[in-house]
A and B are shown apart, each in its own frame.
Chain A
Amino acid sequence: DAEITQSPRHKITETGRQVTLACHQTWNHNNMFWYRQDLGHGLRLIHYSYGVQDTNKGEVSDGYSVSRSNTEDLPLTLESAASSQTSVYFCASSDRVAETQYFGPGTRLLVL
């Protein structure tokens, strides 16, 4: 069955370190998204991609970057981790924009 996976599921890091969160989907979807989930804020869009070599900034992109070298993967990089980036991160993919997004299980990141 097609799926979307994230790794690691839990991560503890220190401020100032670079961190990369992996997202891999086997749906063969063109569209991929990264969200962060914080209490009281719901899910907020960080970055998204409509296809290989395409990346776009979302609502809360400062301090984050993504790259899309193939259809299956959209890694999220925190260039220099800050305590404000402690959150749960979700990756999602969809076949067409505005259609159903399929979510990964999430990565819980703690920045000390």
Chain B
Amino acid sequence: AQSVTQLGSHVSVSEGALVLLRCNYSSSVPPYLFWYVQYPNQGLQLLLKYTTGATLVKGINGFEAEFKKSETSFHLTKPSAHMSDAAEYFCAASNNNAGNMLTFGGGTRLMVKP
């Protein structure tokens, strides 16, 4: 069965510092990969996704992620954190073997200190 693991349920960074949120997946076939962001009391919003092609994917709000097949990873980064980036971030994967359903990681809460 497909699974998605996010290392670190809470990550704290200072404003202006690098943001790195980790995501690893287990899949026997190349998956589609997604990062979603959830602000308090709101639904999930797509940040970026990887389907095929270029392995470095750029998303909204300055975030990007790189698909590394050899490491089965899809880590999310942002060079400089803003206070407005404080939210919960979810990594998700889907592939044909899982009936194309999305499997979510447990989420990482990002806190940004002034």
Interface residues of A (CB under 8 A from B): 33, 35, 40-45, 48, 58, 90, 92, 97-106
Contacts and interface: CB of A to CB of B under 8 A. Distances in A.
Interface of B: 9, 32, 34, 36, 41-46, 49, 51, 90, 94-96, 99-102, 104-107
A98 B95 contact: yes
Contacts of B41: 105-106
Contacts, number: 51
B100 A42 contact: no
Contacts of B99: 97
Contacts of B94: 97-98
Contacts of B9: 40
B101 A58 contact: yes
Given A98-B94, A98-B100, 11 more contacts: A43-B44, A58-B101, A90-B43, A98-B32, A98-B95, A98-B96, A102-B46, A103-B36, A104-B43, A105-B41, A105-B42
